[in-house]
């Protein structure tokens, strides 16, 4: 991918100072600029790097005043940070714009495949699977029998989609994620015999799932991720869980079976939630917290394990940190009391 200063300035409605024909093929931070790269300057703390950068093009604000000679070509815009974000978006769009079906890909005869899809080497699409338009299936992706993948969804390399899974439109699933594996359920009254997991996973539109996540299929019915859910890496969702619209999970989150989570919730890293709970809309849970009971009030901010109101937790933690001192004071008082009893006795 190669772009000239003229092309980029046209895209950004910017003004060029320098070589209008200079071209770039990659992006860089201004302090790490190399020939053939484009960077930007918006934070004054990085101004010093402008005068020594080897980046071929740097995007800067229109009102920036040079204090020394430079060797790079400048593109002046109203807001450099916003303009560079637009370049990033364009670059990513071009980089991920893959099309065509590899000869080394397997597609079952009974599968239905939409228009303009990409299927990389060693991708597998099973019997009666349905693939929408503009879907991107990277190498070594497995899509099981009867699975459904909606339009404009991207499955990065190594994703595994078990049978019967339904994935909506405009979803992104990153490498190593497994969707539809069996729920963890055994019968202790029958020699721990495995309980068959015959449900599925349903993922609605506009969901993004990070790398190396595991989302278990339901025992009966569906494990559900509602529209707009966003997962970081390394999230585990157990059988029959339901995650409400636009809820966010940071890395290492774990949700046990049959818990229902509301809309617009935010869970920081390493949050654990036990099974069969109901979590109200707009709940916020801080990192390394554990939920052991249902949350019925919307918009609560929770902290700790077991988690409770964050403000109360912070106040309680002050006393917890001083607990050793309090014990020593009590021991001293008790000792003095005993000595006084002996003396007076």
Residue 171 backbone dihedrals phi, psi, to 5 degrees: -95, 155
Could you tell me the two tokens for 173?
Answer: 């699933």
Give residues with Cβ within 8 angstroms of 309, minimum separation 6: 300, 301, 302, 303
Structure-block tokens of residue 294: 């249902």
The CA dihedral of 24, 30, 35, 37, to the nearest 10 degrees, is -20
Q: Is residue 276 annotated as a catalytic residue, yes or no?
A: no
Whole-angstrom CA distances from 1 to 4, 11, 20, 93, 137 are: 10, 15, 17, 11, 21
**Catalytic-role residue among 174, 239, 276, 319:** 239
Full 3-state SS string of 266-322? EECCCCEECCCCEECCCCEECCCCEECCCECCCCCEEECCCCEEHHHHHHHHHHHHC
5 — phi, psi (to 5°)?
-60, -40
**Cross-strand partners of 101:** 119
Instruction: Say whether 198 sits in a helix, a strand or coil.
Output: coil
For the packed helices 310-321 and 323-344, what is the interaxial angle rounded to 10 degrees? Answer: 50
| Residues with catalytic function | 239
């Amino acid at each position: 991918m190669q772009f000239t200063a003229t092309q980029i300035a046209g895209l950004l409605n910017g003004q060029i100072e320098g070589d209008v024909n200079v071209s770039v093929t990659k992006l860089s931070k201004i302090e790490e600029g190399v020939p053939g790269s484009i960077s930007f300057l918006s934070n004054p703390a990085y101004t010093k790097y402008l005068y020594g950068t080897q980046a071929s093009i740097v995007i800067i604000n229109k009102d920036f005043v040079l204090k020394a000679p430079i060797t790079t070509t400048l593109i002046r815009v109203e807001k450099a940070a916003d303009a560079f974000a637009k370049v990033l978006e364009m670059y990513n769009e071009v980089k991920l714009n893959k099309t065509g079906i590899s000869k080394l890909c397997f597609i079952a005869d009974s599968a239905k495949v939409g228009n303009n899809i990409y299927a990389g080497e060693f991708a597998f699409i099973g019997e009666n699977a349905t693939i929408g338009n503009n879907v991107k299936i990277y190498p070594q992706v497995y899509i099981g029998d009867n699975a459904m993948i909606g339009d404009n969804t991207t499955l990065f390399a190594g994703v595994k989609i078990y049978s019967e899974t339904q994935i909506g439109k405009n979803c992104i699933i990153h490498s190593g994620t497994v969707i539809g594996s069996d729920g963890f359920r055994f019968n202790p009254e029958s020699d721990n015999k495995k309980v068959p997991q015959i449900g599925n996973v349903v993922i609605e539109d506009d969901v993004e799932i990070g790398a190396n996540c595991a989302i278990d299929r339901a025992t009966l019915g569906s494990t559900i991720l509602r529209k707009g859910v966003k997962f970081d890496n390394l999230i585990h969702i157990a059988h029959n869980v339901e995650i409400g619209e636009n809820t966010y999970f940071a890395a290492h989150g774990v949700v046990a079976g049959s818990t229902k989570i509301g809309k617009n919730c935010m869970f920081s890293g390493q949050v654990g939630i036990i099974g069969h709970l109901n979590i109200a809309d707009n709940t916020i849970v801080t990192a390394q917290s554990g939920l052991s009971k249902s949350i019925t009030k919307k918009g609560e901010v929770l902290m700790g394990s077991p988690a409770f109101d964050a403000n109360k937790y912070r106040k309680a933690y002050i006393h917890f940190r001083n607990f050793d001192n309090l014990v020593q004071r009590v021991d001293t008082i008790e000792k003095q009391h005993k000595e006084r009893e002996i003396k007076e006795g």
